[in-house]
Amino acid sequence: MKKLLAVICAAAMVSTSSVAQENKGILGQQNTKHVELKSINIGDCKWTEGFWADRFHTAEHAMVPYMGEVLTGEVGHALNNFKIAAGLKDGKHKGMRWHDGDFYKWMEAAMYVYAQNGDENLRKEIDNYIEIIAKAQAEDGYLQTQVQLNDKVDRYENRKYHEMYNTGHLLTSACIHHRITGQDNFLNIAIKHADHLYSVFSTGERRYGRFGFNQTQIMGLVEMYRTVGDEKYLKLAETFINNRGTYKIEDTPETVGYPIGDMVQERVPLRESKEAVGHAVLALYYYAGAADVAAETGEKALVDALDRLWENVTDKKMYVTGAVGQAHYGASTSKDKIEEGFIDAYMMPNTTAYNETCANVCNSMFSYRMLGLHGESKYADIMELVLFNSGLSGISIEGKDYFYSNPLRMVDGAREYGESNTNTETPHREPYLECFCCPPNIVRTVAKSSNWAYSLSENGISVNLYGGNRLETKLEDGSTLILNQVTNYPWEGLVNITVEKAKKKPFDMMFRIPDWAYGTTVKVNGEAVDAKVKAGEFAVINRTWKKGDIITIDMPMEVTLVEANPLVEEARNQVAVKRGPIVYCVETPDLPQDTKILDIYVKGGSDFKVNYNKDLLGGVATIEAPMLIRNDHKIESSMYSKVSKPDFKDAKIKMVPYFSWSNRGQSEMTVFLPVIWNNL
């Protein structure tokens, strides 16, 4: 029997290798037909200098190594769980039920770093962990340490054990590892596990119909289909989508112990959904997976539903920072209990905003897939908004401390951060979170960000993100394209892209003009182009490109005041300050002594001064803003008090990027500020 299994595995390795050689993108879309834009191969784009090069350097030298030490040691205990399941160590499972998935995400992040620096020691380290994981895997392919090490729990007994979540990250990480290294050791584990999953969940057995509630397995199965070429994986991914919303909403043995209904997006079938509901991470992983399925099948009903959901999220339930998941606790419009998720449209609290880092990252993942489906610039705008703001705010400048939730205001005394909250809601970043899903999610996002910078179109390339980088890739027709991008973005709006090699026939270059970048100019070799240049769209230039051609994109970087929709009660008569893609905040280290955040008012209509400080917070552009400080506020006073004429004094307050707050000790902070207009 073992010899037969070995032959089957060997055959799988041979059959996957030929397919996988052509599928080396973040999304393996080489043969995907129903998309406008496709992933470039992993490693084709490398950050060279500037903002993202600095962040990647931190990921390479701090984020990934430090997290590896945590997860492979006694504190994180993730690797120990695999060792115990493999019989290599004595002990008990420690960590959350989804901790296996956290380890897979970190492995994925490490692989993105390896794709850039080729560090063989890193690859060998990961291979050692893969060997341990292989020994932990059951004979039939099952692999879930929190269940395998619990004698009181059966496989797929209850969905609260997050087996699907762990599965999805296993499959995705294994596919990425294979695409980067060309090795099959991790992929073979994934094949064995995916085959087991298919044998259990393709039978139509009713007890499994509501199981896939934390739906990373959909993305993982689609990537397995793209990597291996076995259509059963795609069909199983569709099955998980088709099952949602088709079963009676009631407690069953498989659902006891975790909220039901809208919390897990099971009240309405996805194709009929009009509103993003429930746990924000569960929802956005689900939508991202459905977008992957739609990219392969081309199903219009699925795409139409995703269009509605994306619009609902970004137009009615998203913060100015790109953050999502407004509340820790609440209710859906159907009155289902909600945790860590979406509540009513326009209900956007600042101080109690939950905005889980994972949810923000998932928002960018969903938008990246929608960018592929439609090829429209607005999706990349959201990707960028998250990356520069609500994504990066989840990790400290030095790359070793984390936020789980990302509020838009932190005020001393406004909330109680008791023992029950310390794991996910804290007034400062923590070096380790017992619920460790967010740290590896933001780390893998930073590590892979260069792979989002460009996409392949049918007849050329799109520039999605700006930052100093070098691209060496092949277009859809197999021709080589080499570009070199030089810019100090996001602190400056000038971008120069030099063509170092291109085919001799005309092709498209698509340059994203951000939705805030009114007045942008695009020139080639110093001359204006005959192309539509409009904020919120791609500027498409079709020509015969030559070595030495320089494309210059100049985006005005004005400081702007942003107000929320009037229906957002929590932000009425307040403004946020934004410059380019960066949202700013006021933090107490930049206030006069004994001044409170709630005493600060923006002087609307005033001029703002921008300064770049290379020695502050890793190097940031600050905004010197004319403001008013109210002298007669008494935060400790009674609930309500009489007011006559407020007493103000003028001040110039330095504002810093939102992502950089809480890097100078515990402090107060706010994004939205009350405004007093000078001309009124």
Contact in structure between 135 and 86 (CB atoms under 8 Å)? yes
Q: What secondary structure letter does DSSP report for 318?
A: B
Around Cβ 183, how many Cβ atoms within 10 Å? 16
* 3-state helix, strand and coil shares in percent for the chain, rounded to the nearest 5: 40, 20, 40
Average confidence score pLDDT of the chain? 94
> What is the 3-state secondary structure of 595-643?
CCHHHEEEEECCCCEEEEECCCCCCEEEEEEEEEEECCCCCCCCCCCCC
Q: What is the mean pLDDT of residues 435-448?
A: 97
Contact present, 402 and 395 (Cβ < 8 Å): yes
* 427 pLDDT above the threshold of 90: no
Task: Report residue 680 as tokens.
Answer: 């009124």
Q: How far apart are CA 367 and CA 381, in angstroms?
A: 9
The 3-state DSSP class for residue 344 equals: coil
d(CA 113, CA 203): 39
Six-digit token string for 316:
């009615």
Report the alpha-carbon angle 260-166-401, nearest 5: 95
Instruction: List Cβ neighbours of 6 (8 Å cut-off, separation of 6 or more).
Output: none
> Which pair of structure tokens corresponds to residue 332?
């859906």
Residue 418 confidence class, pLDDT cut points 50, 70, 90: low
DSSP code for 40: P
Cα–Cα distance measured from residue 51 to residue 619, given in angstroms and rounded to the nearest whole number: 9
pLDDT of residue 423: 66
Per-position DSSP letters for 541-606, written without gaps between them = EEE---TT-EEEEE----EEEE---TT-GGGTTEEEEEETTEEEEEEGGGS-TT--GGGEEEEET-
Q: What is the pLDDT of residues 196-253, one digit of tens each?
A: 999 999 998 999 999 989 999 999 999 999 999 999 999 999 999 999 999 999 999 9
The Cα 183–Cα 177 span in angstroms is: 7
Which of helix, strand or coil describes residue 509? Answer: strand
Residue ranges and CATH numbers for the domains of the chain are 50-403+429-452 (1.50.10), 454-554 (2.60.40), 559-677 (no CATH)
**Tokens 């099971």 map to which residue?**
266
Rounded Cα gap, residues 163 and 191, in angstroms? 16
Cα–Cα distances in Å, from 530 out to 91, 523, 542? 68, 9, 9
Helices 99-117, 438-448: inter-axial angle, 10-degree rounding: 20
C-alpha 242 chain-centroid distance: 25
What is the model's pTM? Answer: 0.95
Confidence of residue 425 (pLDDT cuts 50, 70, 90): confident
pLDDT of residue 644: 83
**Residue 371 CB contacts under 8 Å (≥ 6 apart), including other chains:** 37, 379, 380, 383, 455, 464
- Under a CB-based contact definition with an 8 Å cutoff, are residues 600 and 591 in contact? yes
Long-range own/partner contacts, residues 195-201 (CB < 8 A, 24 or more apart): 195/141, 196/140, 196/141, 196/142, 197/141, 197/167, 197/221, 197/236, 198/232, 198/233, 198/236, 200/156, 201/236, 201/239, 201/240
Residues 212 and 218: their CA atoms lie apart, in Å, by 9
Residue 636: predicted pLDDT: 62
The b/e string for 258-280 (b: 16+ C-beta within 10 A; e otherwise) is bbbbbbbbbbbbbbebebbbbbb
- The pLDDT tens digits for 351-373 are 999 999 999 999 999 999 999 99
Choose the weakest-confidence range: 215-224, 305-314, 637-646. 637-646
Q: Where are the alpha helices (DSSP H) in 42-162?
A: 51-58, 64-72, 78-85, 99-117, 120-136, 145-148
* DSSP alpha helix (H) spans, 118-160: 120-136, 145-148
CB 101 within 8 A of CB 165: yes
Determine the average pLDDT of the residues in 90-108: 97
- Select the more confidently predicted residue: 525 or 22: 525
Q: Which is nearest to 514 in space by CA: 491, 534, 500, 529?
A: 534
pLDDT for 17 beyond 70: no
Give residue 679's pLDDT band: very low, low, confident or very high (50, 70, 90).
low
Q: How far is CA 628 from the centre of its chain?
A: 36
Q: pLDDT band at 635, cuts 50/70/90?
A: low
Indicate the pLDDT class of residue 181, thresholds 50, 70 and 90: very high
For the chain, how big is the Rg over CA atoms in Å? Answer: 25
- The residue among 657, 649, 641 whose CA lies nearest residue 586 is 657
Backbone φ, ψ for residue 213 (5° rounding): -95, -25
